Amino acid sequence: MIVVMKPGATKEQIEHMIQRVEELGLKSHVIHGTERTVIAAIGDKRDEHRQSLESGPGVAEVVPILAPYKVASLEVKRERTVVRTGSLSVGNCHLGIIAGPCSVESEEQTLSTARAVKAAGATALRGGAFKPRTSPYSFQGLKEEGLKILAAARAETGLPIVTEVIGPADVPLVAKYADVLQIGARNMQNYPLLEAVGVVNKPVLLKRGASATLDELLLASEYILNAGNQNVMLCERGIRTFETHTRFTLPVASVPYLHERTHLPIIVDPSHGTGHSSLVPRTAAAAVAAGADGLILEVHPNPERALSDGFQSLTFEQFGEAMDLIRRVAEAVGKKIEPAPGSRCRVRIESAAAN
């Protein structure tokens, strides 16, 4: 850390801060500039000391030098993580395609969607049984009945199931049925929930909160990794900005940015990221070109009858067309959508130093 003193900082204030730095177990190193003094604080401690030093007398700011996350960091593990479950492979050269309805509404709706997305090339089925809804008066999901319908769809199609869990108390139940536990954007910093999925032996898909920084996303993943579960996929699903023509703003540069910093695979959600089905295919293609390791897409047999998110759901036909575009772009950038598990690809690790 670099402790930047204010221009008028007194000798006493500087001495005081040197002492503070050393009390924290860090080595201090003072540099007297032409207008300001800065104190370098050397050691392996991270974020926690920053706040403490920032409130010292005469301190203008404290500039962190080390990233606050550890286990998620490409500095710690140089090989890219590939998350696999059944036909779903996500990471490195594998492009996972997770598709299905926003909410599980009925067996008929879920099974017909599962068949359609499988036929078009999806490698996993998504569907919400527990729905976090902005309004208490909106449809909240079929809960366990929904999970059973998802399990039936898996039994028929072989697609692994990706479904959301919204509270720590529901984790055992959801984990009984699901192949991948999804943590929604609203819950990215729901720490008891992160800890609960961290002790489960199933992959986790962690969505970025609508106003979370990428550092905060990586730190949220550390809660899960730190609890013991190493199979974490990060999901960029759009951030909240002044733009209102799309539901959220989807920053595709997050994909190469995260790939420079973490070994965890990155999924993109163009359905929530744009909020309009007409924008989804092109945005999905863009995510793949940016290097995404997976896509999660909303598909519904009849979007205008959907109980949630109809405006951003693709019809079966639109999903098929989107998959054609996605497949062409995936091939152009060296990614494979692989329905068969176990296949391997050449490991390409870009060196962080080379970037």
CA distances from 270 to 88, 115, 247, 305 (A): 19, 21, 10, 21
Annotate each residue in 117-136 with x if it binds its own copies (CB under 8 A) or - if it does not, as one string.
---------------xxxxx
DSSP assignment letter at 208: P
Which C-beta is closer to its own copies: that of 87 or that of 274? 274
User: Applying CB under 8 A, which of residues 33, 158, 172, 228 lies at the interface with its own copies?
Assistant: 33
Find the binding residues for its own copies in span 81-120 (CB under 8 A).
none
Are 345 and 336 in contact by the 8 Å Cβ rule? The answer is yes
User: What is the number of alpha carbons within 13 Å of residue 8 lying toward its C-beta?
Assistant: 0
How many whole angstroms separate alpha carbon 331 and alpha carbon 166? 36
Find the binding residues for its own copies in span 260-289 (CB under 8 A).
260, 270, 273-274, 276-279, 282-283, 285-289
Question: Per rule CB under 8 A, is residue 79 in the interface with its own copies?
Answer: no
Find the binding residues for its own copies in span 56-75 (CB under 8 A).
56-58, 63, 65-66, 68-70, 75
User: Applying CB under 8 A, which of residues 234, 235, 255, 322 lies at the interface with its own copies?
Assistant: 255
Residue 287 contacts by C-beta under 8 Å, 6 or more apart in sequence?
236, 250, 252, 255, 268, 270, 295
- # chain residues binding its own copies, by CB under 8 A: 123
Question: Per rule CB under 8 A, is residue 191 in the interface with its own copies?
Answer: yes
Structure tokens at 207: 């969505």
By DSSP bridging, strand 180-183 and strand 161-164 are parallel
Largest separation between any pair of C-alpha atoms in the chain: 75
Question: Per rule CB under 8 A, is residue 214 in the interface with its own copies?
Answer: yes
Which C-beta is closer to its own copies: that of 157 or that of 308? 308
Find the binding residues for its own copies in span 171-190 (CB under 8 A).
186-187, 189-190
User: Applying CB under 8 A, which of residues 95, 149, 232, 239 lies at the interface with its own copies?
Assistant: 239
